[in-house]
């Protein structure tokens, strides 16, 4: 589910869960463990990438609909732990957004240091409201940090999915590149950062991300419990099951 490629001191973690790199408990846990272990293995920067045309389809809704209450609670705790690992990573992380990145796919990119997205008919955005799920506060905080209060409100409340060009214009991503150059651009960004005096870069980066780190220094268990409870709300379950049915039909058609 997670492929690893070594580019000198830079490690690329490529999501590999066909057909759309949807996030399961196992993939979330594996990604967190890989991010946490990278600095111990002398990795100096990370790239998070996906398959051509599909970075990540977000949470695997059809699968998650089969989870019981305890498993959903465990998934959300693991997801928050992943976001903490990304936000607090002592080494830079570049997101190479290789295609579509709705909902949870976008969430992963919010907590990276830098984002480049493939040009084309792709969509990115936090569409949680569309499926009846209130946007978790930690995710809204990550969005607001990138695009500012007004754009965060517009994007989150409307559950909007936008093009790479608009995402760049509002600050949700940093750059748009041809699809076959997305990973190369992420590598170049990492290499440029690593060419700087290491200690000065490390200290300044930590200062720049202090607001993000502070969010994870408080206990997030009450928030996790609220998000978990929201998952089981009747309106949310109804919307999720409708989405799950649509996604199931697409899988059958594509198969």
Residue 250: predicted pLDDT: 56
Residue 143: predicted pLDDT: 98
Task: Please give the full DSSP string across 186-255, using - where no structure is assigned.
Answer: HHHHHHHHHTS-HHHHHHHHHHHTHHHHHHHHS--HHHHHHHHHHHTSHHHHHHHHHHHHHHHHHHHHH-
Residue 243: predicted pLDDT: 84
Asked whether the beta carbons of 5 and 14 are under 8 A apart, the reply is yes
Residue 190: predicted pLDDT: 98
What is the spatial distance between Cα 218 and Cα 222, in angstroms, rounded to a whole number? 10
Residue 245: predicted pLDDT: 86
Domains and CATH numbers, the chain: 1-179+200-255 (3.90.226.10)
Pairing between β-strand 99-102 and β-strand 53-54 as defined by DSSP bridges: parallel
What is the residue-level pLDDT of the chain in tens, covering all 255 positions?
999 999 999 999 999 999 999 999 999 999 999 999 999 999 999 999 999 999 999 999 999 999 999 999 999 999 999 999 999 999 999 999 999 999 999 999 999 999 999 999 999 999 999 888 899 999 999 999 999 999 999 999 999 999 999 999 999 999 999 999 999 999 999 999 999 999 999 999 999 999 999 999 989 999 999 999 999 999 999 988 998 888 765 543 333
**Which of 149, 152, 182 shows the shortest CA–CA distance to 164?**
182
How is the chain split among helix, strand and coil, in percent rounded to 5? 55, 15, 25
What is the spatial distance between Cα 25 and Cα 145, in angstroms, rounded to a whole number? 27
**What is the C-alpha end-to-end distance of the chain, expressed in Å?**
19
Residue 249: predicted pLDDT: 53
Given strand 99-102, what is the order of strands in its sheet?
53-54, 99-102, 124-125
Q: Please report which helix (H) or strand (E) contains residue 142, including its range.
A: helix 137-147
Residue 247: predicted pLDDT: 75
Which residue reads 């709705």 in tokens? 102
What is the spatial distance between Cα 169 and Cα 152, in angstroms, rounded to a whole number? 13
């Amino acid at each position: 589910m997670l492929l690893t490629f070594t580019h000198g001191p830079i490690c690329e973690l490529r999501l590999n869960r066909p057909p759309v790199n949807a996030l399961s408990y196992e993939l979330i846990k594996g990604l967190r463990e890989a991010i946490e272990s990278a600095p111990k293995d002398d990795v100096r920067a990370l790239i998070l990438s996906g398959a051509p045309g599909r970075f990540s389809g977000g949470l695997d809704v059809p699968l998650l609909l089969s989870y019981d209450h305890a498993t959903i609670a465990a998934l959300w705790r693991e997801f928050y732990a992943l976001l903490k690992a990304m936000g607090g990573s002592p080494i830079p992380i570049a997101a190479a957004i290789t295609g579509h990145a709705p909902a949870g796919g976008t969430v992963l990119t919010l907590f990276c240091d830098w984002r480049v997205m493939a040009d084309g008919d792709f969509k990115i955005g936090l569409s949680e409201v569309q499926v009846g799920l209130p946007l978790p506060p930690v995710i809204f905080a990550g969005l607001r940090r990138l695009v500012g209060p007004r754009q965060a409100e517009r994007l989150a409340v409307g559950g909007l999915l936008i093009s790479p060009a608009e995402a760049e214009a509002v600050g949700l991503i940093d750059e748009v590149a041809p699809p076959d150059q997305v990973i190369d651009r992420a590598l170049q960004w990492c290499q440029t950062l690593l060419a700087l005096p290491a200690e000065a870069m490390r200290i300044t980066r930590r200062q720049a991300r202090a607001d993000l780190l502070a969010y994870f220094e408080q206990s997030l268990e009450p928030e996790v419990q609220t998000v978990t409870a929201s998952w089981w709300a009747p309106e949310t379950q109804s919307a999720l099951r409708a989405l799950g049915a649509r996604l199931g039909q697409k899988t059958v058609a594509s198969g």
